[in-house]
Structures are given as C-alpha cells and as structure tokens.
Amino acid sequence: MSFSSHDTLATLVTMVPANRADAHASLNNIKETFAYSAPEREDKRWDCLWTFVVEHVVPHDREPWTSPIKTYWHSVVPTVGTKDDQGEQAQTDPA
C-alpha cells in the first residue's frame, strides 16, 4: 500500500492532541506551504513531515499520545538500513 504525503499530513493532524498547539501550528504551516504543490515537490513535503516528527514527537517520546504516531509513521515510511537493504547493497556494491 502506498501513502501520499498529503494523506499522511491529514492523518497526523487527527492524531496530535488538541492541547499541542505548537505541533498543530507546525502541521498547519506544512499544509499551507503545500496547499498547491506540483508532484515534483512531494519529496519536500516528506522532508517537512520528517522534521515535524523529529521536532514535535520525538522529544515527547514517553508521553502516551506519541506511540500511535510512531506506529503510524513506521507503517507509511519505509525503514532504511534494514538487514535486507544491507544484504542487497552488499550484493550490488563491488568490494
């Protein structure tokens, strides 16, 4: 299943508690910045979403509201550097 950055942004907005005004302001800024966005800017939106997670979710890692966000994030963003990736790279990179 493929997830768009637009769908991911919309889902994150619903997952962040209402009392996290700074986090919602950051998500709204991303939404406004990319209200109209050419397809070639999709990667830039993902970069902004990553920055959001690093700045607003990771620092509150022990708070219960972050757990569903982390689970969701890991389901939509592929993990780089897994053993499969390393094995594949080892087979394609000359030693």
- What are the residue ranges spanned by the domains of the chain? 5-89
User: Is 89 in a helix, a strand, or coil?
Assistant: helix
Cα 70 to Cα 33, 35, 93, 95, distances in angstroms: 24, 25, 32, 36
Categorize the per-residue pLDDT at 89 as very low, low, confident or very high, splitting at 50, 70 and 90. very low
The two tokens of residue 61 are 């890692």
Question: For the ranges 2-6, 45-49, 82-86, which has the lowest average pLDDT?
Answer: 82-86
**Mean pLDDT over the full length of the chain:** 82
**Mean pLDDT, to the nearest integer, of 73-83?**
72
CA atoms of 80 and 77, how far apart (whole Å): 9
